[in-house]
């Protein structure tokens, strides 16, 4: 990896691993052949309280030259008004990422039937012993009632 500061996008959703609250994060940084995607669970930090948060997240990092699982140290700077910055270091990733923040799942936050904003349930996360993270955001439309 050659870059140290890049632009990216972060989707942060409330999550829970068993009884343990945290945040389910989907981070995309860099462009094209240097793009890195990380799917992470960050324990003990609320998805809407990332400002100056610090923690060790666990999950999977996908890059053009490989895929890693493990722990990623996250140190957030100022996170405000839908933007923020985070230093991420771990397997396959070591960068300061200036991101736009979304509270929607990565595949969209609006109902494909009626266009209303979707309600997102707390993401139930599993971190298997062999690494990575499994979490599937569940959404529901409060307007038309469809999934």
The binding site for Zn ion (CB under 5 A) comprises 111, 113-114, 116, 141, 143-144
CB nearer to Zn ion: pick between 127 and 139: 139
Q: How far is the CB of 116 from Zn ion (least distance, A)?
A: 5
CA distance 39 to 28: 9
Kindly state the tokens that stand for 83.
């933007």
**CB contact at 8 A, 2 and 20:** no
CB nearer to Zn ion: pick between 126 and 144: 144
CB nearer to Zn ion: pick between 78 and 146: 146
Q: How far is the CB of 121 from Zn ion (least distance, A)?
A: 15
Q: How far is the CB of 107 from Zn ion (least distance, A)?
A: 15
* DSSP 8-state class, residue 121: P
Burial profile 67-83: b = 16 or more Cβ within 10 angstroms, e = fewer = ebbeebebebeebeeee
């Amino acid at each position: 990896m050659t870059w140290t500061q890049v632009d990216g996008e972060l989707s942060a959703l409330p999550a829970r691993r068993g009884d343990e609250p945290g945040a389910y994060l989907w981070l995309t940084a860099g462009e094209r052949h240097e793009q890195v995607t990380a799917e992470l669970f960050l324990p003990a930090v609320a998805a809407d309280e990332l400002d100056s948060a610090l923690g060790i997240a666990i999950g999977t990092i996908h890059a053009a030259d490989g895929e890693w699982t493990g722990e990623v140290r996250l140190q957030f700077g100022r996170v405000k008004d839908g933007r923020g910055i985070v230093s991420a270091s771990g397997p396959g990733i070591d960068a300061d990422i200036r991101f736009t923040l979304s509270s929607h799942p990565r595949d969209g936050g609006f109902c494909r039937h009626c266009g209303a904003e979707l309600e997102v349930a707390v993401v139930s996360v599993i971190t298997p012993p062999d690494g990575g993270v499994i979490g599937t955001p569940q959404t529901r439309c409060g307007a038309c009632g469809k999934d």
